[in-house]
Structure 1
Amino acid sequence: MYTPTDGESPDSRQLAIYGQLVHDLLSQTDPKNWIDDLWSIYTGYTVFEKGAGYNPRGSEIFMTFRELVFFFQKVEKMKV
């Protein structure tokens, strides 16, 4: 858990908190599993969307998915 120190800037504190949240998230499972799970979630979403009809946010949702996959790929490379 993050503990702030005296004289630490608000930006540093915020970055440390984000870092702790990311660390907690990544400690749940390895990046490869996150990527596989994201593909499963997105595949299920696209199957649902075909039946549900047009979603005007479809491209935004894909971009979010893509950025999450890229993030976990970068993390995976860092662990090598």
Structure 2
Amino acid sequence: MNTEAHTNESPDSKWIAYGREVSALLSSSTAENWTNELWTMFSGFMLAQNEMGRSENLSNTYFSFKELLEFFERVEGIRKGT
């Protein structure tokens, strides 16, 4: 991903650049596969909590995970035209 800031870009061109990056990311797999991978990562993270000790930011991690799942649900809806 190209994350360099271009200060003299118009806001529209920044949104287009963001859209291209998101499109490239999403084209590498289906929304369903992304969702499955997220569940695998989060499940592993939760299982590791017993060995690593509880995280103070566990609630933040959960809500970030939830937002990612919702994002992929919206992406799938867009793909299906719903």
TM-score between the two structures when normalised by the length of structure 1:
0.85
State the Cα distance separating 1:37 from its structure 2 match: 0.3
The corresponding residue for 2:63 is: 63
State the Cα distance separating 1:40 from its structure 2 match: 0.3
Number of residue pairs matched by the alignment: 72
Where do 1:1-80 residues align within 5 Å?
10-80=10-80
State the Cα distance separating 1:79 from its structure 2 match: 1.3
Q: Which runs of 5+ in 2 are unaligned?
A: 1-8
Q: Which runs of 5+ in 1 are unaligned?
A: 1-8
> Per-residue CA shift, 1:8-59, capped at 9, x if unaligned?
x621011011000000001001100000000000000000012211211111
Q: How far apart are the structure 2 equivalents of 1:50 and 1:71?
A: 29
Structure 1 runs of 4+ with >2 Å offset: none
Q: How far apart are the structure 1 equivalents of 2:60 and 2:35?
A: 18
TM-score between the two structures when normalised by the length of structure 2:
0.83
Letter in 2 for 1:48: A
Taking only the aligned residue pairs, the percentage that are identical comes to: 28
